[in-house]
Structure 1
Amino acid sequence: MSGYGQFCPVAKAMELLDERWTLLVVRELLLGSTHFNELRRGVPKMSPALLSKRLKALTRAGVVERSETDGRTSYSLTARGKDLAAVVEALGTWGVRWIGELGDEDLDPHLLMWDMRRTIPTSVWPAARTTLAFCLDGVEARAARWWLVVADGRADVCDFDPGYDVAATVHASLRTLTAVWRGDVSWQRALLDGSVAVSGPAQTRRAVPTWVGQGSLAAAPRPA
């Protein structure tokens, strides 16, 4: 893109960062994605060609480092890339505080479940392999069933039945579960008003809100 032609540091930073998707790619790297396909799952509406282009631009700018091990390419943030963490967090906090309305086009079950997979507090889950099922209303049938599997401190998400015993099943609309994950609605409120239902043994039902938790920006304060 052409430059702004200004000496202002904000203008110089935005010459790199305000191209479409660029900061979301940085966000994914900050959240621990290292491989191309992992990055794609975090920005599912971004074309592979554009993702490749943005990674190359960030690498040229010294924000991203590309490496190859056993023929597999991985990406990581350099020191200057990691320095963007505060910028991304501040933008996210501002978005939570002041842009609350979500349109139908903002709701994506694939992205929601992927974000849950990488940030749920696996340390509070049982030591043995544990599977939670999710039944989502308001989405196409092929995207309505999901399974979160936690074993050995690692979480995986499946859009097909992995064949394991299910500890509990969460029933909610995609919009409601997104609101809970964002922190717009608490687990307690959603369970009390019935917009989220959990089926399974009583002890497991009580544990599910703690097992799943909420997104990393859910605690950002909202305006009165």
Structure 2
Amino acid sequence: MTVKSRSRAGYGQYCPLALATETLGGRWTILVLSRVIEGCATFSDIYRGVPRISPSLLSSRLSELEQAELVKREKVKGAKNARYRPTKAALELEPLLNGLAEWGQRWARDMEDDDLDPGFLAWSMHLRMNTDAMPAERTVLQFEFSGVPTEYRRFWLVGEGGAIDMCLKPPGFDVDLVVSSDIRIFVEAWRGIRDLHAEIRAGRIKLAGPATLKKRFPEWLMLSQFAPIKRKRKGEESKRRPTMRASG
């Protein structure tokens, strides 16, 4: 019997799990696919959602996902850039990826300092702002973090008319509210490991601006979708998990 050689490295097993892992197990692959499933349609949008990947590697991963028939690249007439959309096969993965993220919230290792990426935090937050609770007029939030290199310590979220823009450079508008904190404390609050209200009351997350905006800020921040899931892995993060959420 002649066995056809594989064109790329694999596990050499017919097991469906092995075959699926060959497709999805490359570094960054699942994260890139997740961004496309979440609605990032252009190369630049996807890149903003995985800010530590190199552009060349992102291009390579998108090509691999096209070949695997998980992502479809489309050229839109009159548009400068191509758009990417998930295929039916990719959308079937969405509940599995959400389940994997939920498992990670419960059981994955504690975060290390190198995991605390302000660029990814900015991208995540701009998707999780309660625009219904925010003013209809333009509202500019400036976030400042210690514990990160100086060039990455600030970003801005601009809300207006129910939309949120993320800016890694000054947006050119007056700032309405400044939020400052150590990056780890804020990320742990974002993930639900700490209580946001308690951290604000304790002054570990500082708000500077009009009193009305400071009072309303916690209503605007919806936190990570996985924040309600309790950490189960024993470690420093599980020790900091609040036993009950503060109400205000």
TM-score (norm 1): 0.93
1:29 aligns with 2:36: yes
**Structure 2: which 5+ runs fail to align?**
1-7, 233-237, 239-248
Deviations 1:116-166 (A, max 9, x none): 112222222111111111121122222222221011221112233323232
- Offset, 1:100: 4.7
What SS class does the counterpart of residue 56 from structure 1 fall into? Answer: helix
1:204 aligns with 2:193: no
Alpha-carbon separation, structure 1, partners of 2:12 and 2:111:
35
> RMSD between aligned alpha carbons?
1.6
Alpha-carbon separation, structure 2, partners of 1:200 and 1:179:
23
- Offset, 1:4: 1.9
**Structure 1: which 5+ runs fail to align?**
none
Q: Which residue of 1 aligns with 2:193?
A: 184
% identity of equivalent residues: 36
Q: Which residue of 1 aligns with 2:243?
A: none
What SS class does the counterpart of residue 179 from structure 2 fall into? Answer: strand
Output aligned runs, 1:1-224, within 5 Å.
1-69=8-76, 70=78, 71-223=80-232
What SS class does the counterpart of residue 119 from structure 1 fall into? Answer: coil
What SS class does the counterpart of residue 41 from structure 1 fall into? Answer: helix
**Farther off after superposition, 181-190 or 74-83:** 181-190
Specify which structure has the higher proportion of helix.
1
- Offset, 1:178: 1.1
- Offset, 1:200: 1.8
Letter of the 1:52 partner, please give it. Answer: S
Alpha-carbon separation, structure 1, partners of 2:153 and 2:81:
32
Q: Which residue of 1 aligns with 2:244?
A: none
- Offset, 1:3: 2.4
Alpha-carbon separation, structure 1, partners of 2:168 and 2:46:
18
What SS class does the counterpart of residue 127 from structure 2 fall into? Answer: helix
Q: List structure 1 segments (4+ residues) > 6 angstroms apart after TM superposition.
A: none
Deviations 1:32-57 (A, max 9, x none): 21111111122222122221111111
